[in-house]
Amino acid sequence: MMRTHYCGLLTEAQIDQTVTLCGWVHRRRDHGGVIFLDMRDRDGLVQVVIDPDTPEAFATADKVRSEFVLKITGRVRKRYEGTENANMVSGQIEVLGKEIEVLASSETPPFPLNDENTTISEDIRLKYRFLDIRRPEMLDRLRFRSKVTNLIRNYLDDHGFLDVETPILTRATPEGARDYLVPSRVSNGSFYALPQSPQLFKQLLMVGGIDRYYQIAKCFRDEDLRADRQPEFTQIDVETSFLNDDEIMDLMEGMTTKMFKDLLNIEFGGKFQKMPYSEAMRDYASDKPDLRIPLKLVDVADLMQSVEFKVFAGPAKDPKGRVAALRVPNANTLSRSQIDDYTKFVGIYGAKGLAYIKVNELEKGIEGLQSPIVKFIEPIVLQLLERVGAQNGDIVFFGADKAKIVNDALGALRVKIGHDLKLSTCEWAPLWVVDFPMFEETDDGRWTSVHHPFTLPKSSVEDVKNNPGDALSVAYDMVLNGTEIGGGSLRIHTLEMQKAIFEALGISDEEAEDKFSFLLDALKYGAPPHGGLAFGLDRLVMLMTGAQSIRDVIAFPKTKTAECPLTEAPAPVEANQLRDLGIRLREQKKQEA
Amino acid sequence: MMRTHYCGLLTEAQIDQTVTLCGWVHRRRDHGGVIFLDMRDRDGLVQVVIDPDTPEAFATADKVRSEFVLKITGRVRKRYEGTENANMVSGQIEVLGKEIEVLASSETPPFPLNDENTTISEDIRLKYRFLDIRRPEMLDRLRFRSKVTNLIRNYLDDHGFLDVETPILTRATPEGARDYLVPSRVSNGSFYALPQSPQLFKQLLMVGGIDRYYQIAKCFRDEDLRADRQPEFTQIDVETSFLNDDEIMDLMEGMTTKMFKDLLNIEFGGKFQKMPYSEAMRDYASDKPDLRIPLKLVDVADLMQSVEFKVFAGPAKDPKGRVAALRVPNANTLSRSQIDDYTKFVGIYGAKGLAYIKVNELEKGIEGLQSPIVKFIEPIVLQLLERVGAQNGDIVFFGADKAKIVNDALGALRVKIGHDLKLSTCEWAPLWVVDFPMFEETDDGRWTSVHHPFTLPKSSVEDVKNNPGDALSVAYDMVLNGTEIGGGSLRIHTLEMQKAIFEALGISDEEAEDKFSFLLDALKYGAPPHGGLAFGLDRLVMLMTGAQSIRDVIAFPKTKTAECPLTEAPAPVEANQLRDLGIRLREQKKQEA
C-alpha cells in the first residue's frame, strides 16, 4: 500500500502513529536547521518536519522543490504550543518525516500554486489546466460538482426515474441554434448533428412508456460564445408521463431544496412562489426576476399619454411602448455622478436617458421635488407620485421607450440599484415563473416559439389557430436570484395540436415531415400526456459555488472562441481523413482554381 | 393528480379501494357481455373489467383499441376463484372500471405489442423504437441498465471517486481507431475530434490532483461496425493516483461483485483469480479465457518436431508456430458429422483441418485408438497421449499452424465444445488476466502497443529500449465468461519512460510533440503514479441481462451501417451550413468540374 492517510485529514487522532503520505510539495522552508514541507493532496495540507537526525531523508528533503511528488513516512506528533494553525484540519499536528521517496520531480511551474494572491491569466490557467486544478479552490469546485450530480441522481432514482442515455450522433434538433455537424464516412455527403438537447428523444422515451426519465446530458450549440456559454454544456434533463405541471414543479422543487439544504445548509423556507410571466414582466420587467430586491416597477403610461413631453407621451401611446416608474426608497441622496453612472448603465440596454424625480418634501407639492423633468409633466406629476407610493426621501426613475428597451433597462437597473444600496431582503430567492406566452412576434410579423414547438398550450386547437398571440403555454422556469436555472413545460401529445402549432409557426407539412417525421409518427400510436424540464448544470454549480465564470466549474472548458488552449483543439487534420469523409476544405478549392 | 397507482403494482392490499390508473391498452376482450382491458404501464399489467352497468364507460371501452392511452378510475376487487393469474403481480385482483377517459388514441401499431411470440425484424423495431421499448423485455433491460449505473456511481462515490466530465469536442486521441471529426465554424479548416476514450484527460486529472476520478463516458469510434460494436458506446471510466495495480483491481472487483450480488443475486464466491497472459494463452489459447469450461490445451510441439508428417512438424519447428492438443473427456462418441461440423467451425478461424484421436481402449496401445492421423505420428503418439492425460473415452483434437491461427481456432473450439457437451462447471467465471506483453510485432517488423502507449511497463527504461519484445506491462483485464468486460493499467508518470515508449513505437519527437505535447508537458510538473481502468457498460449490461445484441441494451442504437432508422441520421444538410464550416462535398466538386 502506497499511503496510509490523506495529508489533509490527519488530526490529533493519529498522534504517535506512523503514517505514510503521498502528495505534492506545496511549500518548502528551512528554519532553524530543520526543513518544513507543507505536503498537499486532495484533502488539504499537512506540515512535515525533517531534521538532520535522519540524514538520508534530510538530504532528499533538501533537494525537493515545489510540486515534487513525494511519498513520506513519519510519525504524527502534536505541534509545539504556539505553532498550531487553526485554519487547517491538520493544524494541531505535524509529521516528523523519517523516510522520503521522490515519486516525481517537477520543473518550476508556470505559475505558483502556493500563493493565493497571484492573479493568473485565464489563458495560462487553461493551457496548464492540469496544474490549475491542483489549486484547492478549483479542486473544491469540481468536488462540489460531483456531489451535486450524485445527489441529483439519487434523488431522481429514489423518485422512480430511470437514467437513459440518448444519442450524441444524431439528427439536427429543433432548438434553433446552429448545430455541430459530423460528416459520415459511410454515407458521404450526409452528416450527423450533435444534439442541442435530448428534447425529442426524451419525448420518444415517454411514448415508449419509460414513465420517468432523467439524464445528465451533454448538449451542444455552435453559437457565438458569450461570457457564460460553452460549445458543450451539461443539462440535467428530466421527463415524466401522466404528471401535471404542478406535480412536476413539486418534484423539481424538492430536488433543488434538498440540494441546497444538504450541500450548502441553506433553507429556502417554504414552497416556491409561482408568478405568471405577465406579472413578472409588469412588476420586475424580467422573466427571471431577482426577488431578493424588493423594488417593483409601476406602469404609468395612462398618465403619461396626456403630457406634451414626447419622450413620455410617444411611448405611452405606442401599443408596443412602455412607460414605467421605479421607486427607490430613501435614495434621494444619490449624487449627480451616481445618477450619471446609472444613466450610462441603462444606455447599455438601449435606453436614451434616465429621467428621475427626487422626492424631498412631498408636502410642498411640486416645489418639494427635485428633477429635470417635472416641468414637462407638471399636470400629472403628483397623481403619478401617488400611484407609485412615493414618500419623502425617495427617488423615482422613469423609463419610456419600446417595451423591450424599457424592460431590459429598468429590469437591470432595479437589480443593480438594489445591490448597490444593499436592499436585498434575503440571500436566496427562488420562484417559478409560469404562464408564458406560446409565441412571440418576429420583426417581420411571423410567430416563433417562446420555448419550443413541442410546448403544450393552455388553449384549444381552435384558439391557437385563431389567436396565436393570446395563447399561453404550460411552461415553467425555475428562477433563483435572477438567474434561470431550469425550465420546462408540458408537451403536446396529440397529432392534431402538434400540427396546429407547426402551422402557426409557418412550418410547412413538408418541412415538419422532413425534420420531425419520427415525432409525428410517435404521436399516432398512443402518446401519453407528458412533460419535463431541464436544468443547466454548469450554471447551477456556478451559482452554488459562487464561481465567477462558468469555466471555473468545468474541468476542461473552451475559451470564448471555442478553443481548448490545453489540447489546441480544434486542429487541422490529414488530407486522407477528409477524403474518407467525402469533404474538402473551401480554401483548397480556391487554391486549385 | 392524474393517477393513484401504477397498474402493475396493484395487489390484494388495494382491495375495495378506488384507484385511478393511467396506461396503455395491452389487450381488449369482450367476454360474456363485459369488456376486459389489460392495462399496461412501466410496472406491468392489470385487468380492468367494464360492465354495461356503467354505460358511459362501457361505450368508451367498446371503442378503444390496442395501445390507446387511458385514464381509468375504478374499484379494486378480488378476482373470481379460478380466474387468478399467478404470473402477474396483480393477478389476484382486477379493477372494476367506472370511468374511462381516452388520453390518446392509437392507430394499429406496425407490430403487435401483446404477442411475445411474434418475431419482429430489427429494422422495424429500430424505426419504431418508441413502440419497441414499450415491450416489457426492452423496458426491463433499460431499467436494469439504469440500476447498474446507479449502483456503480454510488459505489465509486462511497470510495471517494469524483465524477468529472471530460470534453466531447476535443483533439484526436491516440486509441488508433478512426476519429469522428467536427468541422469548426470559428476556425475554418480546423476540426474537433470526438474522443475515443477520455484516456488523456483522466491522466491529466490525476496530474491535477483529483486523486480518484470516474465518469460514465460516451466514447466514439468510426469503425466498420461488427455485430457488437456501436459508433458511440459507453464506458465506465476510472482513474486513481497512488494506488498499485492490486489495489485498483481490488476496488473494481469489489464493484463488480457488488453489482452481481445486489442486482442479480449472484455470488462469485471469493477473490478473482489472477492469471498471467502467458498462462492464459498456453492453457486456453485466449487472453479472455472462459473458465466455466474446464478444458485446457497442452503444447506438444516438442514431440511433433520429430514426426515426418509436415502438417505437424512444420509448425512445430516454426518459432511462430504452435502445435497444441485439446483433450475432451468422454467425447469419443462424437460422430463423423459432428467432427465435420467442428472442422468447419475451426475453418472460420483459418485452420486448414482438425486432426483428432479417439481414445477407445488405451490399454491396447495404438490399436485402441481411432484416428486418421495416428499412422503419421506413430512414434510419439503414446507419449503424446500420456502428456495430455488421455483416458479411455476421450477425444483429443489437434491444432498445428501459425500460433495465431491455432490459438483462435482451438481457443474457440474449446469453448464451443464445452458448451455443446455441457461441460461448464459453473455459471459465472470471473478472473483477471495480467502481465500482458507491452508490444506486439506488426507484419512489417515494427512494434505496436498491446494496450496503448501510456501503459506502464514492468521493465526499466533500459530494458524497454533493449528488449521491447520481452517487456511486460502492468495491465489487467477483467474477464467474465470469456468476455473482456474491463481493462486497464498503471500509466507512465515520468517523461523519461514516456519518451522511451514513444521511441520503441517509432513515434518521432515531432509527432509526439504534435499530438501529445500537453501530456508531455504534464509529466514535467510532478505527475503522481497513477492507473485506472475502463469497463464497457453496454457489453456488461448485455452480459448481465442475457441480451442477444448490444443494440438491445441501448435506447436508440445505430445499425451496422451506423444509421438510425428512427431519425434517419445521418442526413444531408443545407449548403449554407457547409459554407459556414468552410467545407464542401467532394461530389459537388466533381459536378462543378
Query: What's the ipTM?
Result: 0.94
* pLDDT(A172) > 80: no
> Chain A closest CA to B589's CA: distance in Å?
8
Does the bond joining B198 to the residue before it have cis omega, within 30 degrees of 0? Answer: no
> Chain B closest CA to A314's CA: distance in Å?
42
Does the CB of B143 have a partner CB in chain A at under 8 Å? Answer: yes
B555·A205 Cβ contact <8 A:
yes
* pLDDT(A589) > 90: no
Name the residue facing B585 among A150, A570, A583 (closest C-beta).
A583
pLDDT band at A404 (very low <50, low <70, confident <90, very high): very high
- Helix, strand, coil fractions of chain B, as percent rounded to 5: 35, 25, 40
* pLDDT(A151) > 60: yes
Does the CB of B529 have a partner CB in chain A at under 8 Å? Answer: yes
Q: Is the pTM of this model over 0.90?
A: yes
CB within 8 Å of chain B, chain A residues 159-178: 162-172, 178
Distance, in Å, from the CA atom of B329 to the CA atom of B127, rounded to the nearest integer, reads 48
> In 10 A of CB A88, how many CB atoms?
18
Give the pLDDT confidence score for residue B514 in this predicted structure: 83
DSSP A67: T
Distance, in Å, from the CA atom of A21 to the CA atom of A4, rounded to the nearest integer, reads 6
Contacts of residue A323, defined as CB under 8 A and 6 or more positions apart, other chains included, come to A299, A300, A301, A304, A312, A315, A316, A398, A399, A400, A406
The nearest alpha carbon in chain B to A564 belongs to: B170
Give the pLDDT confidence score for residue B174 in this predicted structure: 60
Q: Which of chain A's residues have a Cβ under 8 Å away from the Cβ of B184? A: 562, 570
The 10s digit of each residue's pLDDT in B181-228 is 999 999 999 999 999 999 999 999 999 999 999 999 999 999 887 767
Mean pLDDT of B51-67: 96
Give the pLDDT confidence score for residue A173 in this predicted structure: 64
The 10s digit of each residue's pLDDT in A15-27 is 999 999 999 999 9
B129·A585 Cβ contact <8 A:
no
Which residues make beta-bridge pairs with B478? Answer: B432, B486
The nearest alpha carbon in chain A to B528 belongs to: A69
Does the CB of A227 have a partner CB in chain B at under 8 Å? Answer: no
Nearest to A76 by CA among A2, A3, A21, A1: A21
Asked if B169 and B194 touch (Cβ cutoff 8 Å), the reply is yes
For A166, A241, A437, A454, A519, the CA distances from A203, given in Å and listed in that order, are 11, 9, 22, 9, 8
A191·B573 Cβ contact <8 A:
yes
Give the pLDDT confidence score for residue A175 in this predicted structure: 59
Q: Which of B158, B162, B492, B578 to mutate to test the interface with A (most CBs of A within 10 A)?
A: B162
Give the pLDDT confidence score for residue B442 in this predicted structure: 86
* pLDDT(B592) > 80: no
Positions of E strands within B51-205: 69-78, 93-104, 162-163, 181-183, 191-193
B130·A522 Cβ contact <8 A:
yes
CB within 8 Å of chain B, chain A residues 44-73: 67-69
Give the pLDDT confidence score for residue B165 in this predicted structure: 98
CB within 8 Å of chain A, chain B residues 439-468: none
Q: Which of chain A's residues have a Cβ under 8 Å away from the Cβ of B105? A: 526
* pLDDT(B92) > 80: yes
* pLDDT(B345) > 70: yes
Q: How many CB pairs under 8 A join A and B?
A: 368
Give the pLDDT confidence score for residue B173 in this predicted structure: 64
Q: Which of A127, A161, A181 to mutate to test the interface with B (most CBs of B within 10 A)?
A: A181
Q: Phi-psi region for residue A422, left (φ > 0), alpha (ψ -120 to 50) or beta?
A: left
Using the structure block, give the residue that is written with the C-alpha cell 505437424.
B312
> In 10 A of CB B533, how many CB atoms?
23
Distance, in Å, from the CA atom of B325 to the CA atom of B299, rounded to the nearest integer, reads 6
Give the pLDDT confidence score for residue B175 in this predicted structure: 59
pLDDT band at B115 (very low <50, low <70, confident <90, very high): confident
% pLDDT > 70, chain B: 98
The 10s digit of each residue's pLDDT in A211-237 is 999 999 999 999 887 767 899 999 999
The 10s digit of each residue's pLDDT in B245-279 is 999 999 999 999 999 999 999 999 889 999 999 99
> Chain B closest CA to A52's CA: distance in Å?
25
Which residues make beta-bridge pairs with B396? Answer: B327, B357
* pLDDT(B524) > 90: yes
Identify the sign of the CA torsion B239, B241, B244, B248.
negative
The 10s digit of each residue's pLDDT in B236-245 is 999 999 999 9
Give the pLDDT confidence score for residue A153 in this predicted structure: 98
* pLDDT(B3) > 80: yes
Distance, in Å, from the CA atom of B489 to the CA atom of B532, rounded to the nearest integer, reads 6
Q: Per mean pLDDT, which range of A267-276, A438-447, A549-558, B297-306 is the poorest?
A: A438-447
**Backbone φ and ψ of B21, nearest 5°:** -120, 150
The 10s digit of each residue's pLDDT in A471-490 is 999 999 999 999 999 999 99
Range ranked top by mean pLDDT from A329-343, A441-455, A504-518:
A329-343
* pLDDT(B589) > 60: no
**Which domains does chain B show, CATH number per domain?**
7-104 (2.40.50.140), 140-274+432-552 (3.30.930.10), 293-425 (3.30.1360.30)
% pLDDT > 90, chain B: 87
Does the CB of B128 have a partner CB in chain A at under 8 Å? Answer: yes
The nearest alpha carbon in chain B to A173 belongs to: B567
Annotated binding site of B: 175, 221-223, 230, 451, 484, 491, 536-539
Which residue did the predictor score with more confidence, A587 or A147? A147
**Backbone φ and ψ of B164, nearest 5°:** -125, 130
Q: Which of chain A's residues have a Cβ under 8 Å away from the Cβ of B176? A: none
B232·A493 Cβ contact <8 A:
no
